[in-house]
């Protein structure tokens, strides 16, 4: 018997330790991937929430794992009206060919009482080679199904509705990370401002930028692709106005209105821009991270507002806020011409931005 076999030395021979380590890493990596797939292919997965994109991705993840294990996996994607009493038992009964199967039930909270009994019975004894995926809105309706799945130890995927801007910003950052690409904080924020609240559109925008642009994706790139979108153009108006660039602000304003941006969105953006100037100008000095915590702004915005506040005075801020208030009243029915009210406010804000040093 070879000495190496008795002593536990590397079976690849002397001097090949690195080769053994490499092979070991490959094996461990394969084991990790297998473990991850096995987790996704738990007998029952319940995806809980109302964010359609995340619900669809939860389904796609299971289907992809199943087809990785068996390319001929049969997928059945069903709505509540397609799942009648007995349907689940029929779909999950043993197959002559022992094929792998994924059964997806959408809007499980809407299942009939008799079908819920079938689901509970199945959860107590899931079939082999079959993965059941239940999509549930997460509310009180149909809670018995959700409780039964959890009690049975189902794998759970959270798919909450993303209503907060911070959540959508975190989503965009994660989308870029998932592709292995870099995007600046300003670019991520600009994309959220430009595209809006629909996660499908945000995910699609990230995919387009990653496919079309090499290197780090910055704010300028996002601007080239998405200028003219409603949310983006309103903030462009505000940025140009608080920077004192009246002509560019008016041009952006007219473009925004021509493309259907609601005037109230523009007054809101103007108010945010001026208030940011006021908050930062009255804050104590410090690092962007410290000021961000104090003022409730992201650090990247602190840097931007610092550049924009040159030329502003406290009186200028007060004057600009009054102009925004008048414009807001004008676009909400207090005036005859909302466009004129906005133009007047933009000019007033740009003038206030250049108030320092004026007599």
Confidence of residue 177 (pLDDT cuts 50, 70, 90): very high
- Percentage of the chain surpassing pLDDT 70? 79
Mean pLDDT of 208-234: 78
* 330 and 236 in a common domain: yes
The tokens for 26 are: 């490959």
The tokens for 122 are: 């199945």
Last residue of a domain, one of 211, 226, 241: 226
* 200 and 247 in a common domain: no
* 313 and 211 in a common domain: no
* 256 and 153 in a common domain: no
Integer Cα distance of 121 and 163 in angstroms: 36
> What are the beta bridge partners of residue 157?
47
Contact 127, 99 (CB under 8 A): no
* 264 and 220 in a common domain: no
Integer Cα distance of 148 and 341 in angstroms: 58
Q: Please tell me the predicted confidence (pLDDT) of residue 65.
A: 94
* Residue 198 located in a structural domain: yes
Q: Please tell me the predicted confidence (pLDDT) of residue 4.
A: 35
- The full 3-state SS of the chain, as one line of letters, equals CCHHHHHCCCCCCCCCHHHHHHHHHHHHHHHHHHHHHHHHCCCEEEEEECCHHHHHHHHHHHHHHHHHHCCCCEEEEECHHHCCCCHHHHHCCCCCCCCCEEEEECCHHHCCHHHHHHHHHHHHCCCCCEEEEEEECCCCCCHHHHHHHHHCCCEEEEECCCCCHHHHHHHHHHHHHHHCCCECHHHHHHHHHHHCCCHHHHHHHHHHHHHHCCCCECHHHHHHHHCCCHHHHHHHHHHHHHCCCHHHHHHHHHHHHHCCCCHHHHHHHHHHHHHHHHHHHCCCCCCHHHHHHHHCCCHHHHHHHHHHCCCCCHHHHHHHHHHHHHHHHHHHHHCCCHHHHHHHHHHHHHHHHCCCCCC
* Residue 237 located in a structural domain: yes
* 323 and 235 in a common domain: yes
* Domain that includes residue 186, residue range: 165-226
* Residue 184 located in a structural domain: yes
* 234 and 131 in a common domain: no
Q: How many domains does the chain have?
A: 3
Q: How far is CA 238 from CA 43, 84, 92, 294, 303, in A?
A: 53, 55, 58, 23, 16
How does pLDDT run across 306-324, given as a tens digit for each residue?
888 888 999 999 999 999 9
> What are the beta bridge partners of residue 44?
132
* Residue 15 located in a structural domain: no
Asked if the model's pLDDT at residue 61 lies above 80, the reply is: yes
* 343 and 247 in a common domain: yes
Cα torsion for 16, 20, 22, 25, to the nearest 10°? -160
Confidence of residue 286 (pLDDT cuts 50, 70, 90): low
Integer Cα distance of 334 and 325 in angstroms: 11
How does pLDDT run across 287-303, given as a tens digit for each residue?
666 666 666 666 667 77
* 339 and 284 in a common domain: yes
> Domain with 212 in it: what CATH number?
1.10.8
Contact 116, 145 (CB under 8 A): yes
* Residue 17 located in a structural domain: no
Contact 350, 254 (CB under 8 A): no
* 81 and 174 in a common domain: no
Asked if the model's pLDDT at residue 79 lies above 80, the reply is: yes
Q: Which has the closest alpha carbon to 249: 274, 280, 226?
A: 274
> Domain with 118 in it: what CATH number?
3.40.50.300
How does pLDDT run across 96-151, given as a tens digit for each residue?
666 789 999 999 999 999 999 999 999 999 988 899 999 999 989 999 999 999 99
* 312 and 204 in a common domain: no
Mean pLDDT of 247-255: 88
Last residue of a domain, one of 159, 177, 201: 159
* Residue 107 located in a structural domain: yes
Integer Cα distance of 52 and 41 in angstroms: 21
> Domain with 326 in it: what CATH number?
1.20.272.10
User: Mean pLDDT lowest for which of 11-15, 73-77, 109-113, 211-215?
Assistant: 11-15
Interhelix angle 246-258/263-281, rounded to 10 degrees, is 150
* 169 and 64 in a common domain: no
* Residue 3 located in a structural domain: no
Last residue of a domain, one of 159, 180, 213: 159
Q: Please tell me the predicted confidence (pLDDT) of residue 97.
A: 63
Average pLDDT, the chain: 82
Integer Cα distance of 177 and 217 in angstroms: 12
* Residue 114 located in a structural domain: yes
Whole-model pTM: value is: 0.56
> What are the beta bridge partners of residue 65?
none
Q: How far is CA 255 from CA 34, 107, 260, 353, in A?
A: 53, 42, 9, 22
Q: Which has the closest alpha carbon to 288: 305, 273, 265, 275?
A: 305
């Amino acid at each position: 018997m070879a000495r190496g076999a008795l002593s536990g030395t590397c079976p690849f021979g002397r001097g090949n330790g690195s080769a053994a380590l490499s092979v070991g890493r490959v094996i461990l990596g394969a084991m990790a991937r297998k473990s991850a797939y096995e987790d996704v292919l738990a007998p029952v997965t319940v995806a809980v929430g109302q964010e359609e994109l995340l619900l669809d991705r939860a389904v796609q993840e299971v289907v992809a794992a199943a087809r990785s294990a068996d390319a001929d996996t049969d997928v059945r994607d069903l709505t509540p009206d397609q799942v009648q009493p007995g349907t689940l038992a029929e779909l999950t009964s043993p197959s002559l060919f022992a094929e792998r199967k994924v059964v997806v039930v959408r809007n499980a909270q809407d299942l009939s009482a008799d079908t819920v009994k079938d689901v509970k019975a199945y959860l107590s004894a899931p079939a082999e080679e079959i993965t059941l995926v239940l999509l549930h809105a997460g509310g009180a309706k149909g809670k018995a199904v959700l409780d039964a799945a959890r009690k049975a130890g189902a794998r759970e995927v959270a798919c909450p509705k993303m209503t907060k801007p911070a959540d959508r910003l975190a989503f965009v950052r994660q989308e870029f990370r998932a592709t292995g690409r870099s995007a600046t904080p300003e670019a991520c924020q600009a994309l959220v401002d430009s595209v809006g609240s629909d996660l499908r559109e945000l995910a699609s925008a990230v995919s387009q930028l990653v496919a079309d642009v090499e290197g780090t994706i910055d704010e300028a790139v996002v601007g080239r692709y998405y200028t003219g979108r409603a949310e983006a153009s309103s903030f462009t108006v505000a940025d140009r106005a608080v920077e004192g660039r009246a002509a560019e602000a008016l041009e952006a304003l007219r473009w925004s209105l021509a493309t259907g941006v609601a005037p109230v969105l523009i007054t809101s953006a103007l108010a945010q821009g001026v208030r940011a100037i006021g908050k930062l100008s009255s804050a104590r000095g410090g690092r962007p991270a410290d000021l961000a915590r104090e003022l409730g702004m992201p650090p990247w915005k602190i840097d931007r507002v610092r550049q924009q506040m040159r030329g502003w005075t406290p009186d200028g801020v007060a004057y600009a806020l009054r102009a925004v208030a008048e414009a807001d009243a004008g676009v909400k029915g207090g005036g005859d011409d909302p466009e004129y009210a906005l133009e007047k406010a933009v000019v007033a804000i740009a003038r206030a931005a250049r108030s320092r040093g004026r007599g």
